[in-house]
Amino acid sequence: MELQKVDGRKARGEKKRRAIVEATLRVIEREGVAGVTHRSVAREAGVPTTAPTYYFATLDDLLIATLLWSAEELCDDMLKIVASGGSAREIARSLAQAVNENRGRTLAEYELYLLAGRRPELKPAARRWLDRAVEVVRPADPLAFRAFLAAIDGLLLQGLIADVAPNEDELEPIVSFLIRGRDDFTAAPKEE
């Protein structure tokens, strides 16, 4: 146990650091990347104005750290959609949830996409869920699967700009159509 003695200061610091990142994500969900400033984040996190600067060299670092971190969660969410039990119903339900209850988070994800379009360093994080989906599902027909993944992004995106976000029942038949011939790519599923 001698080596495991942790510095209480660093422990608290790391905790605060995480709190700041989480606050940043909340700001992004609520107001978009544009709303992220040292002050808005500090206010959201309940810390002094200079705290974010202390933990992150620059505002950009904070933004990138937040998006990289959120990408992990988003990856999980997306995999849950892609491999959620498998039935069209369940996939449709997950999609409906993403554009309704989790609207803010879904918007945040596409903020990440867009930023990745302009900042190469974010690209791997943005497309992580795509790579992981292929790894997990191991589709026999990669083409069909890529089309399916593309359609998911499209459905979410279009769901966000609809007058009223689509619900489970509206999405189900479309998903159903997309995974007709589902055996093509779920022939060799694989848990890891």
Residues that bind DNA (CB under 7 A): 5-10, 12-13, 16, 36-40, 47-51, 53-55, 57-60
Name the one residue in this structure whose structure tokens are 């999405």.
171
Helices (H), the chain: 8-31, 38-45, 51-55, 59-82, 88-99, 103-118, 123-126, 128-137, 142-160, 168-178, 183-186
Closer residue to its own copies (CB): 76 or 121: 121
Q: 50 vs 158, which CB is nearer to its own copies? A: 158
- Given the complex with its own copies, which of 19 and 140 has the nearer CB atom? 140
State the CB neighbour count (10 A cutoff) for residue 93: 20
Of residues 131, 120, 103, the one with CA closest to residue 64 = 120
Q: State the nearest-atom distance from the C-beta of 24 to DNA, in Å.
A: 11
Shortest Cβ distance from residue 36 to DNA (Å)? 7
Find, among 112, 109, 28, 16, the residue nearest to 56 by Cα: 16
Least separation in angstroms between CB 186 and its own copies: 16
Nearest approach, Cβ of 117 to its own copies (angstroms)?
Answer: 4
Q: Which residues bind its own copies (CB under 8 A)?
A: 31-34, 107, 110-111, 113-114, 116-118, 123, 126-127, 130, 143-144, 146-147, 149-155, 157-158, 160-163, 173-174, 177-178
